[in-house]
Amino acid sequence: MKRIVVEKKILEKNDDIANSIRNLLDKNHIFSLNVMSSPGAGKTTLIERIVEALKPEYKIAAIDGDLDTQRDAQRIAALGIEAVQINTSGTCHLDSSMVQKALNDISLDLDLLIIENVGNLVCPASFYLGTHKNAVLISTPEGDDKVKKYPTMFNVADVVLINKMDIAQFVNFNVEKVENEIKELNPNAIIFKISAIKNEGLSEFINWIKKNIELLKHQ
């Protein structure tokens, strides 16, 4: 019998690939955003709004993760940017090797790369993809009790967007409670209250993206 001290990260291979993605993005001065939420929270609509707002100034591409169909990538591509769909065929999250493969199909002459993760508030939080920032979306019809139920996800968020604010009053969503719970769990997260579908409240978030693009451009 032999005892071997290992002290290795279980997801070391994923992290190694993610770090090489990060190096590639940094080298090319591409700011990258990993967008995560439960299904139906409004990730694709949010990304459409980001693209509409920033396309006149910046070169953008998107990677869309879903279990099946090309629907999300088609919606984003319809706005005239490059969009690659990853079908995970059953896997509930994107991992770094999937993103690395998708990046082979994208021209790196870019300012912004948006990754739309698989709709899921649990699994994507454990897999680092090499992106600069994590944006987590929560929508009002999901209920105002979600933050403490999914501590890992809200803990990895750099930005939390509370979406579908236009219908908050009809679904008894206590926005103050949600904001307080986010601040308790992750005081560094920046919170934006938006309605992606109505294009309301997005300008501050768009400015935050712009600021990050410019920072990386001049590095």
Applying CB under 8 A, which residues contact another protein? 1-14, 91-93, 95, 122-123, 125-127, 148, 151-153, 155, 183-188
Instruction: Name the residue nearer to another protein (CB basis): 13 or 71.
Output: 13
Query: CB count, 10 Å around CB of 18?
Result: 21
CA-based max dimension of the chain: 65
Helices 203-217 and 43-54: angle between axes, nearest 10 degrees: 60
Name the token pair of 96. 């770094």
Nearest approach, Cβ of residue 133 and another protein (Å):
17
Q: Which is nearer to another protein, 92 or 175 (CB)?
A: 92
Cβ atoms within 10 A of the Cβ of 2, count? 3
Query: Based on CB atoms, which residue is closest to another protein, 8 or 218?
Result: 8
DSSP 200: B
**Least separation in angstroms between CB 14 and another protein:** 7
Q: Which is nearer to another protein, 95 or 116 (CB)?
A: 95
DSSP 84: E
At closest approach, how far in Å is the CB of 177 from another protein?
14
d(CA 213, CA 131): 13
Shortest spacing between CB 212 and another protein, in angstroms:
20
